[in-house]
């Protein structure tokens, strides 16, 4: 077995421990395992020549996420942002440890860490591809359950923030996904706001 497959096996085994489940087409999966596989699939669709480091980052972007629940931090935006930052560092460290154990060199580990931490978004091709893929996973698998729970203004504002992180290549794929009429309406409204600025 080569190093890439060996490390994928370890990432997947770790994410399969997630006690939270994600139901898709009548089957329940460990949530972070399912989302990691789909993130990896989107990265391959967006960039068929993706670097090994980008593929590694895609499979471990949220590794062990359930181990630092949101409710272990106070309410409010400041605490939410701190939680997100701490999570990203946790994912990067856990990924680095697994890669090191499999025999990856420090340069490759540093590069995967950079992608996971989303440094130089909009400038670094791999980081931008990752951001596109993360948004597409949300739109394909989580968005239609998410938007009916909130007021229209909040949904459109969240979509606007997500779509702004994407580039035109990502938007092309986003508009080809299947949505309910209401879901598509919100996306079009968010894109209108982006294009009017």
**Residue 108 and residue 54 in one domain:** yes
- Domain-embedded: residue 23: no
pLDDT level of residue 195 (50, 70, 90 thresholds): confident
Structure confidence at residue 1 (pLDDT): 57
Would residue 75 be called left, alpha or beta, if left means φ above 0 and alpha means ψ between -120 and 50 degrees? beta
- Domain-embedded: residue 94: yes
DSSP SS3 for 130: helix
Q: Is 28 exposed, middle or buried (0-12, 13-18, 19+ CB in 10 A)?
A: exposed
Mean pLDDT across the stretch 81-98? 95
C-beta atoms surrounding 102 within 10 Å: 16
At residue 158, does pLDDT exceed 70? yes
Name beta bridge partners: 28.
Answer: 23
**Residue 108 and residue 39 in one domain:** yes
**Residue 71 and residue 158 in one domain:** no
Query: How many domains would you assign to the chain?
Result: 2
At residue 197, does pLDDT exceed 80? no
At residue 66, does pLDDT exceed 90? yes
Q: Of the residues 117, 143, 165, which one is the last residue of a structural domain?
A: 117
Each residue's pLDDT tens digit, 46-61: 999 999 999 999 999 9
For the chain, give the mean pLDDT. Answer: 94
Measure the CA–CA gap between 26 and 176, rounded to whole angstroms: 23
**Residue 34 and residue 78 in one domain:** yes
* Domain extent for 75: 1-18+28-117
Structure confidence at residue 111 (pLDDT): 96
Is residue 194 within 8 A of residue 164, CB to CB? The reply is yes
């Amino acid at each position: 077995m080569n190093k890439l497959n060996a490390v994928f096996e370890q990432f997947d085994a770790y994410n399969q421990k997630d006690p939270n489940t994600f139901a898709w087409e009548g089957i329940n999966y460990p949530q972070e395992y399912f989302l990691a596989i789909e993130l990896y699939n989107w990265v391959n669709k967006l960039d068929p020549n993706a670097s090994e480091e980008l593929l590694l980052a895609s499979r471990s972007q949220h590794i062990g996420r359930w181990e630092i629940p949101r409710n272990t931090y106070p309410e409010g935006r400041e605490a939410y942002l701190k939680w997100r930052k701490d999570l990203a560092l946790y994912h990067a460290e856990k990924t680095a440890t697994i890669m090191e154990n499999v025999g990856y060199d420090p340069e490759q580990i540093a590069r995967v860490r950079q992608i996971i931490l989303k440094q130089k978004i909009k400038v670094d091709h791999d980081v931008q591809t990752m951001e596109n893929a993360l948004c597409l996973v949300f739109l394909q698998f989580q968005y239609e359950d998410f938007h009916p729970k909130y007021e229209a203004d909040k949904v459109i504002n969240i979509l606007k923030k997500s779509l702004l992180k994407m580039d035109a290549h990502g938007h092309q794929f986003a508009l080809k996904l299947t949505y309910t009429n209401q879901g598509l309406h919100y996306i079009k409204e968010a894109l209108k706001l982006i294009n009017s600025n």
